[in-house]
Each structure stands twice: as structure tokens, then as C-alpha cells.
């Protein structure tokens, strides 16, 4: 049977990477640093999801595990909101610098944060 300690290492890595992304957001880190931290968190999250998918058994100490996972989910949600605010702020700044951009609407942000292009080329 899988024990809580089997989950400890990957979970601790995700917590550490969540903190790194949070710190990058708070420090106003460069885009490259933020992307690097986010990519590492995404990779660790995917690995953890794969690990949990393979081991679909109840874990001893599950209450503590659920509390930690809930904290991670909440932190990632807050980080996502911060990133959406930064994207909106950057877009507003661009509209200030280049007033005609507001009418072009080349990029929109869907509720899940995916950027989509509505530009159809020169012919419209």
C-alpha cells in the first residue's frame, strides 16, 4: 500500500515551486524568470498527477495530504489571478502607448486564460 511518505517528495517539490512562482510575482521578476518558475511548477504538477493516477489507493494520513493539496490549489488559483491582472495591466499600458490597438482586438482572454487570435490576415 502507498503511504503518505511516498507522496511527500513530489508534494514538497510542488509546494517549493509554488512558493518560487509566488516570490517571482511579488518581486516583479523578469518575464523569463516567471516563465521558468511557472514551467517548472507545471512539469512537477503533471508528474504528480501522473503519480497519483498510477496509485489510486487511499493514503494513510490522507487528511493532512488533502489539506496540503487544497492549499496548493488555492495558491495556484491566486497566482493565476495575479497573472491575469498583470496581463490586463500590460494590455492597458499598450493601449495607452498605441491608442489604435483598442480597436484591433487581435487578442482576447477567455475565462480559462487562453489567448486566442481573431486576426484573419490582410483581407479581413
491566486: which residue's cell? 78
Going from N- to C-terminal start, the domains of the chain cover: 4-97
**Unique residue bearing C-alpha cell 517549493:** 16
| Torsion of Cα atoms, 60 then 11 then 74 then 70, to 10° | 0
Asked whether residue 64 carries a pLDDT value surpassing 50, the answer given is yes
pTM of this structure: 0.64
Does 50 score more than 70 pLDDT?
yes
Please check whether residue 36 is in contact with residue 93, taking contact to mean a CB–CB distance below 8 angstroms. no
Query: Is residue 117 scored above 60 in pLDDT?
Result: no
What tens digit of pLDDT does each residue of 18-46 get? 999 998 888 887 888 888 998 999 999 89
Residues 67-87 have pLDDT tens digits of 888 899 899 999 889 888 888
φ, ψ of residue 108 in degrees (nearest 5): -125, 160
C-alpha to C-alpha distance for 2 and 20, rounded to whole angstroms = 28
* pLDDT confidence band for 103 (50 / 70 / 90): low
Amino acid at each position: 500500500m502507498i503511504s503518505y511518505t511516498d507522496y511527500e517528495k513530489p508534494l514538497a517539490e510542488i509546494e517549493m515551486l509554488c512558493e518560487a512562482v509566488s516570490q517571482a510575482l511579488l518581486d516583479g521578476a523578469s518575464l523569463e524568470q516567471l516563465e521558468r518558475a511557472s514551467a517548472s511548477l507545471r512539469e512537477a504538477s503533471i508528474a504528480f498527477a501522473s503519480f497519483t493516477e498510477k496509485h489510486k489507493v487511499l493514503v494513510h494520513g490522507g487528511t493532512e495530504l488533502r489539506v496540503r493539496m487544497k492549499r496548493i490549489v488555492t495558491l495556484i488559483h491566486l497566482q493565476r489571478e495575479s497573472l491575469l491582472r498583470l496581463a490586463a495591466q500590460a494590455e492597458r499600458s499598450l493601449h495607452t502607448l498605441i491608442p489604435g490597438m483598442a480597436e484591433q482586438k487581435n487578442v482576447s482572454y477567455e475565462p480559462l486564460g487562453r489567448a486566442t487570435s481573431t486576426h484573419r490576415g490582410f483581407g479581413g
